[in-house]
A and B are shown apart, each in its own frame.
Chain A
């Protein structure tokens, strides 16, 4: 039974946490691009005006692809897979109780880091993504994405990138703790 739980725990971590880590790290770039596109459309300059400015990261053969669908997908992945990712700590906890390692320092450290990562995701990353999506959708009444609000979001995008990076880093540390298990006498 422990082996089944362990397999499910590792599989869930790969399948659910992996995409979240990827999606949250890519989101700031694409959301910033989509918001800039949206605000330029608003002031009348078409996508053609964009291409002679700074080169957008998605320009392929001179064609500018809209970043908006990608942004929506990344946001959806971030949200849905975050919820599914809750299976990982739950399975991990069940496994720890079964293996009687719940009091071990390496496990307690992992739990603390996991909680920090979860709070970072729920309190910083997802709300910032939500604000970007609200700007893209346009608040009811005042048209899509007012320029100053877009500017504010884009200038804050670096902080979102940083939070996303820290989120990924926390998971990397947790994985190392899970593999190395410093101080543990079970297994190698």
Chain B
């Protein structure tokens, strides 16, 4: 994570990472040992991270396409994050900076 990361995008970065990593772990579990307890714990974690990514994007001052990207399963959050970092969107403009 770059040091100049906007505090807004940091939240999106965290939940997006959880979204993707939890799914990878879920699939890894399914493909290898397949412990049902692991699925029981990671399933809700992934579900929460997916919804939290969407909600975070809709609460942040980013453009509509970035928000819609979060709807993509598994990697939507990371896609949205890279788009938000690339484009000089509202999230970077200080006057639109949300109070934390």
Contacts and interface: CB of A to CB of B under 8 A. Distances in A.
Given A122-B58, A133-B99, A137-B99, A83 B44 contact: no
* A: interface residue count bin: 20 to 34
Given A76-B99, A86-B52, A140-B95, A94 B37 contact: no
Interface of B: 37, 40, 43-44, 47-48, 51-52, 55-56, 58-59, 95, 99-100
A87 B55 CA distance: 12
Contacts of A8: 44
Q: Secondary structure of the A side of the interface? A: helix
A86 B55 contact: yes
Interface string A1-17: 10001001000000000
A86 B46 CA distance: 12
Interface string A82-110: 11101100110110001000000000000
Contact of B51 (A5, A75, A90): A90
